[in-house]
Amino acid sequence: MSTIQIRIDQKEKKEVKRILDNIGLDFSSAIKLYFKQIRKYRGIPYILTENGLTPQEEAEILLASTEAKSGKGLSKKMNLDEFRAYLKSL
C-alpha cells in the first residue's frame, strides 16, 4: 500500500466530505474508486467536451458525420414498402 498526500482548499474539502458522507464513502474509498476509473478508461474519467460528450463519443460522432456526408455506409434510398420489407428482414 502507498500513502498519498494532497493539498486542497478547506472549503472544498468540507463540501466534498459532506457529499461523500451522504453516499457512504470516505475520502480514501472515493480516491481508490477514482483511480480504478482512470485505469479503466486509460485517462481521466468524467471529462466532457463542451457538447456534454466524452472526447471519444465526440470523435465517433464527428467521424460518422464525415462518413455520412461522403456517402460511406449509407443504404440506398427506399420507398415505404421497401423500407417495411427491409425492417421485416432484420
Domains of the chain are: 1-46 (1.10.1220), 48-90 (no CATH)
CA 37 – CA 34 distance, rounded (Å) = 5
pLDDT tens for 34-73 read 999 889 877 787 777 788 888 888 889 999 899 888 888 7
pLDDT score of 4 more than 80: yes
- Report the pLDDT value the prediction gives residue 5, as an integer from 0 to 100: 92
Write down the pTM of the prediction. 0.53
**Residue 62, number of CB atoms within 10 A of its CB:** 10
Among 61, 55, 73, 1, residue whose Cα is nearest residue 32: 1
